[in-house]
Chain A
Amino acid sequence: MKSELINALSRAEIDAIEAEITHLPDRKSAAIDALKIVQSQRGWISDDSLSAIAKLLNMSAAELDGIATFYNLIFRHPVGEQVILFCDSVSCWLMNGEKVCSKLQRTLGIQHGETTADGQYTLLPVTCLGDCDHAPAMMVGESLHHDLTVDNIEAIFK
Chain B
Amino acid sequence: MTQSPLTRNIQGNGPTDILAYEASGGYLAARDNIGKADPADLLQLIKDSNLLGRGGAGFPTGMKWSFVPPADGNGHRYLVANADEMEPGTFKDRLIMENDPHQLIEGMLLSAYTLAADVGYIFIRAEYHLAIARIRSAISEAEQKCYLGDRILGSKYSFHLQVHISAGRYICGEETALLNSLEGKRATPRAKPPFPQVSGLWGRPTIVNNVETLCNIPHIVNHGANWFKSLGKGDNAGTKLFGASGRVKNPGCWELPMGTSIREILEVHAGGMQDGYMLKGFLPGGASTDFLTPDHLDLPMEYEAIQKAGSRMGTGLMVVLDDRACPVGMIANLEKFFARESCGFCTPCREGLPWVQGILDKIEAGHGQAADLEVLERQALFIGAIGNTHCAHAPGAMEPLVSGLKYFRSEFEQHIHDGRCPYAGES
Contacts and interface: CB of A to CB of B under 8 A. Distances in A.
Tell me if chains A and B make direct contact, with any CB pair below 8 A: yes
Contact of A127 (B170, B202, B253, B321): B170
Interface in B38-94: 76, 85-91, 93-94
Interface in A20-48: 23-25, 28-33, 35-36
Interface in A104-127: 126-127
Contacts of B94: 130
Interface string B157-190: 0001010111111100000000001111111000
B364 to A, nearest CB: 12
Contacts of A2: none
Contact of B246 (A29, A95, A131): A95
B287 interface: yes
Interface residues of B, number: 59
B408 interface: no
Interface residues of A, number: 41
A132 B319 contact: yes
The 3 closest A-B pairs by CB, nearest first: A73-B168, A132-B245, A71-B167
Interface stretch (B25-33, B125-133, B370-378): B125-133
Given A31-B184, A128-B90, 14 more contacts: A70-B187, A72-B167, A90-B89, A90-B287, A91-B245, A91-B246, A127-B341, A128-B86, A130-B86, A132-B90, A132-B251, A133-B243, A133-B251, A133-B253
Interface stretch (B303-311, B329-337, B350-358, B382-390): B329-337
Contact of A36 (B167, B319, B334): B167
A85 B330 contact: no
Contacts of B182: 29
A94 B319 contact: yes
Interface in B227-268: 243-247, 251-253
A129 B89 CA distance: 9
Contacts of B278: none
B322 interface: yes
Interface of B: 76, 85-91, 93-94, 125-130, 160, 162, 164-170, 181-187, 202, 243-247, 251-253, 283, 287, 317, 319-322, 325, 329-330, 333-334, 336-337, 340-341, 343, 427
Given A128-B88, A130-B94, A90 B330 contact: yes
Contacts, number: 133
Contacts of A134: 251
Q: Which of B160, B164, B170, B319 has most chain A Cβ within 10 Å?
A: B319
Given A91-B246, A94-B319, A32 B88 contact: no
A7 interface: no
A70 B245 CA distance: 30
A127 B128 contact: no
Contacts of B184: 24, 28-33, 67
Contacts of B162: 23
Contacts of A30: 184
A127 B427 contact: no
Nearest to B188: A70
A139 B86 CA distance: 15
Given A28-B184, A93-B330, A128 B87 contact: yes
Nearest to B119: A23
Contacts of A88: 333, 336-337
A124 to B, nearest CB: 10
A116 to B, nearest CB: 21
A74 B246 contact: no
A151 interface: no
A73 B343 CA distance: 15
Interface of A: 23-25, 28-33, 35-36, 66-67, 70-74, 85, 88-91, 93-96, 99, 126-135, 139, 142, 144
**Among A29, A70, A130, A144: residue with most chain B CB under 10 A:** A130
Contacts of B187: 70-71
Contact of B88 (A31, A33, A89): A89
A56 B166 CA distance: 21
Contacts of A90: 88-89, 283, 287, 319, 330, 333-334, 337
B333 A67 contact: no
A12 B299 CA distance: 56
A9 to B, nearest CB: 17
Nearest to B167: A71
A32 B184 CA distance: 5
A85 B126 CA distance: 12
Please indicate which of the listed interface residues A71, A95, A126 has the most CB atoms of chain B within 10 Å of its own CB. Answer: A71
A148 to B, nearest CB: 14
A128 B168 contact: no
Nearest to A57: B184
Nearest to B248: A133
B248 to A, nearest CB: 9
A91 B89 CA distance: 6
Nearest to A67: B186
